[in-house]
Amino acid sequence: MKRIGVICKTGRAEPAAILKSLLPWLVKKGCEVFIDEETATVMGVEGHSRVQIPLLADMIIVFGGDGTMLGVTRLIGDRGVPILGVNLGGLGFITEVNKDELFDVMDEILAGNYSLEERIMLAARVMRNNNAVADFTVLNDVVVNKGALARMIELDTFIDSRYVTTFRADGLIISTPTGSTAYSLAAGGPILYPSLNSIMLSPICPHTLTNRPIVLPDGVEIRSTLKASGEDVFLTLDGQIGFSLQRDDTVEVKKAAFTTRLLIPKDRDYFQVLRTKLKWGER
């Protein structure tokens, strides 16, 4: 992999400072580097639009946090370009590489010593009056949730056309294993090993306490129709994109036709990540 894209979190000076050393190091290794326009402007070098970078690169280095990574996965879509996430602070479940180990990790990657981990994505569609009005693809989760002042919402939910239940709750989270450590975890859902082929359904503050999260095979299609609600109900994608829902809108969710490919250093241990990020074993 000699054609390397670089996408950085906007508004941060730190990536440009790292790249001042990394860029000549990569060029010396025989790499061609494509930097996003915002970062390139700060550095005074040629830049490329973020949309172009997945078309030019064999791999993409993302500097930022999980939010930046999620945006890049949607940008890449079905192109299959592998991503290396470099964490610049915060929890960082999918930006696993620390900045102080970046050069060592890149040395290993350029030598072919790495793993590629396939992560399933979700395709979500909003149906209104039998017409598709919105389509999205996400890595973490699809969430139906109410606004701050809205009453409890009701969601008639079906799996593969079989009626499951009508959730009376503050909302519903449909997540991938990657997203199991995001909003779903805060709502009481289990942690799923990230490479599993599963989809998780987690109600948010359900009125019926026996409504618990359920883990499903990734071949199912989930349909949830908004029935009773207050004024403000939204579909939220990866916690970054919002879409306003109306009564009788149906949200259809299934596994996307493509995956996100993450570059994982050979010595990375997922359970070490859990111990570090979630403080497992500490008292």
User: How far from 195 is each of 122, 179, 191, CA to CA, in Å?
Assistant: 14, 11, 12
Between strands 214-217 and 153-159, the pairing is unpaired
- Catalytic positions are 66
For residue 159, the cross-strand partners are 162, 222
A 10 A CB-CB count for 115 gives: 11
| Region for residue 170 given its phi and psi (left: phi exceeds 0; alpha: psi -120 to 50; beta: otherwise) | alpha
Calpha distance 164→48 (Å, rounded): 47
Please name the residue that has the structure tokens 């071949």.
219
CB-based contacts of 201: which residues, under 8 Å, 6+ apart? 157, 172, 173, 174, 213, 214, 216, 222
Contacts of 172 (CB under 8 A, 6+ apart): 143, 144, 145, 155, 157, 201, 202, 203, 204, 224
Partners of residue 172 on adjacent β-strands? 144, 203
The token duo for 154 is: 């009701």
Q: How far apart are CA 221 and CA 8, in angstroms?
A: 34
Closest CA to 120 of 271, 266, 254: 254
> Do the beta carbons of residue 201 and residue 216 sit within 8 Å?
yes
